[in-house]
């Protein structure tokens, strides 16, 4: 539970920003396709947009409507980018910056560990995608709460130099690949 070296911290932060940028670009590309319009239609059902008995009134649905299908396909796009990690062993941002996920206990890195790590990190996006598909706004609310908890854990882990929950539960850590 030692301190994360400051250079590694900033590399990981930059890798996360790069991953999110990949997600935004993918979201923009998917927004004006059938997938984007499908998710926008599902959002209308889930949030009961335009219905008299909806709690979604005022500026929030208006702003989301202005952004159009991009708003609703963004969780899927982010999830697709995050799924690169268990499928390839790295994310686009980590790969670009020479970072590697390794087992914490020096064992062999398993697919199970990578999937566990990704499931925890992406619980918010999984929850939103499933909520949109099922039309259940309570599930979206639960996903948001769990996503906030994971994000708070990540921030607190940086402040108090402890490993975040997605690393402790998956028994993984991130390191810089040594250049030979």
Write out the chain's pLDDT in tens, 180 residues. Answer: 445 567 877 888 899 999 999 999 999 999 989 998 898 888 877 777 667 777 666 676 667 666 778 888 999 999 999 999 999 989 999 999 999 998 988 778 889 999 999 999 999 999 999 998 998 889 989 999 999 999 999 888 877 777 888 888 988 988 888 765
Is 86 in contact with 111 (CB distance < 8 Å)?
A: yes
Report the C-alpha gap between 160 and 1 in whole angstroms: 10
Residue 109: φ, ψ to 5°: -75, 120
Is 116 in contact with 169 (CB distance < 8 Å)?
A: yes
How many CB atoms sit inside 10 A of residue 74's CB? 22
Q: CB under 8 Å to 142, separation ≥6 — which residues?
A: 127
Q: What is the pLDDT of residues 112-142, one digit of tens each?
A: 999 999 999 999 999 999 998 998 889 989 9
The whole-model pTM stands at: 0.84
């Amino acid at each position: 539970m030692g301190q994360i070296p400051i250079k590694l911290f900033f590399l990981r932060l930059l890798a996360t920003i790069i991953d999110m940028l990949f997600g935004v670009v993918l979201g923009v590309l998917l927004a004006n396709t059938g997938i984007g319009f499908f998710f926008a239609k599902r959002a209308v059902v889930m949030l009961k947009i335009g219905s008299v008995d909806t709690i979604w009134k005022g500026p929030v649905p208006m702003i989301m409507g202005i952004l159009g299908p991009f708003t609703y396909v963004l969780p899927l796009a982010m999830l697709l980018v995050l799924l690169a990690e268990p499928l390839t062993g790295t994310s686009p941002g980590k790969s670009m910056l020479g970072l590697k996920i390794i087992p914490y206990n020096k064992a062999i890195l398993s697919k199970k560990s990578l999937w566990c790590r990704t499931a925890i990190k992406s619980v918010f996006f999984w929850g939103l995608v499933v909520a949109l598909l099922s039309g259940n706004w309570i599930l979206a609310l639960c996903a948001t709460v769990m996503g906030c908890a994971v994000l708070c854990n990540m921030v607190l882990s940086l402040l108090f130099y402890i490993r975040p929950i997605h690393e402790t539960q998956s028994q993984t850590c991130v390191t810089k690949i040594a250049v030979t």
